[in-house]
Amino acid sequence: GAGVSQSPSNKVTEKGKDVELRCDPISGHTALYWYRQSLGQGLEFLIYFQGNSAPDKSGLPSDRFSAERTGGSVSTLTIQRTQQEDSAVYLCASSFGGGQEQFFGPGTRLTVL
Amino acid sequence: AQSVTQLGSHVSVSEGALVLLRCNYSSSVPPYLFWYVQYPNQGLQLLLKYTSAATLVKGINGFEAEFKKSETSFHLTKPSAHMSDAAEYFCAVSDPGANSKLTFGKGITLSVRP
């Protein structure tokens, strides 16, 4: 079956613009995670969804970051008023549930000019 | 709080030589431990995981890791390196609970010399 997909694969934006990053998890996976990979900070957890709820948002770096998940499937990560320090690869992962193996998507490379 | 330490950022070995990538963790509860590999411009692929069963874990591509609670370590080994093993390797830890978010080490880049 299909793996985790993310779109776009690359996004270049200007400072101050809003961006939306999309994640399509593996069908049937109830848990969904967003991570960020940057040169300075390595791989960091952002947010965890179980179904459509987000019981752990502790990794979101500021209130400019938000995410939602609909239908227990697709998730969108939104970054408002982008800053240059938001430049990173944003990775999405899904699993059958908490404690299960996480399958990662290829990531979205975000560049803020 | 959990943390993972991967000492050094780069390891270089000759083809056919032993690969040893070190990982030490800190966790307040018995953890789950993982090794992921990332090839250039690709996502993360799970190599192997420890989830409180056998302490010696075998993974894909000939890799294995041993969980040593007394040393809080989970080092990754492969007896004989191949050129195709050149990649970045990440050790990660999670709680075994419902929210098993991963806490990653900084990663180690493995180079393999012909």
A41 close to B (CB below 8 A): no
Question: Concatenated DSSP letters for B13-43?
Answer: EETTS-EEE--EEE-SSPPEEEEEEE-TT--
Cis amide prior to A8 (ω within 30 degrees): yes
Chain B residues touching residue A59 (CB < 8 angstroms): 101
Residue carrying the six token digits 């080994």? B77
Residue-wise pLDDT tens for chain A (113 aa)? Answer: 589 999 999 999 999 999 999 999 999 999 999 999 998 788 999 999 999 999 999 999 999 999 999 998 999 999 999 999 999 999 999 998 776 789 999 999 999 99
- Read off the pLDDT of each residue in B88-93 and give the average, rounded to a whole number: 96
Q: For residue B23, is pLDDT > 90?
A: yes
What's the pLDDT band for B98 if we cut at 50, 70, 90? Answer: low
Contact check, Cβ <8 Å, A56/B43: no
pLDDT number for residue B99: 76
A36 in Cβ contact with A90 (< 8 Å): yes
- Between B45, B96, B101, which is nearest A48 by CB? B101
pLDDT number for residue B62: 96
pLDDT number for residue B51: 87
- Between B92, B98, B103, which is nearest A50 by CB? B98
Chain B residues touching residue A4 (CB < 8 angstroms): 43
Q: Which residue of B has its CA nearest to A47?
A: B101
Q: For residue B56, is pLDDT > 60?
A: yes
pLDDT number for residue B20: 97
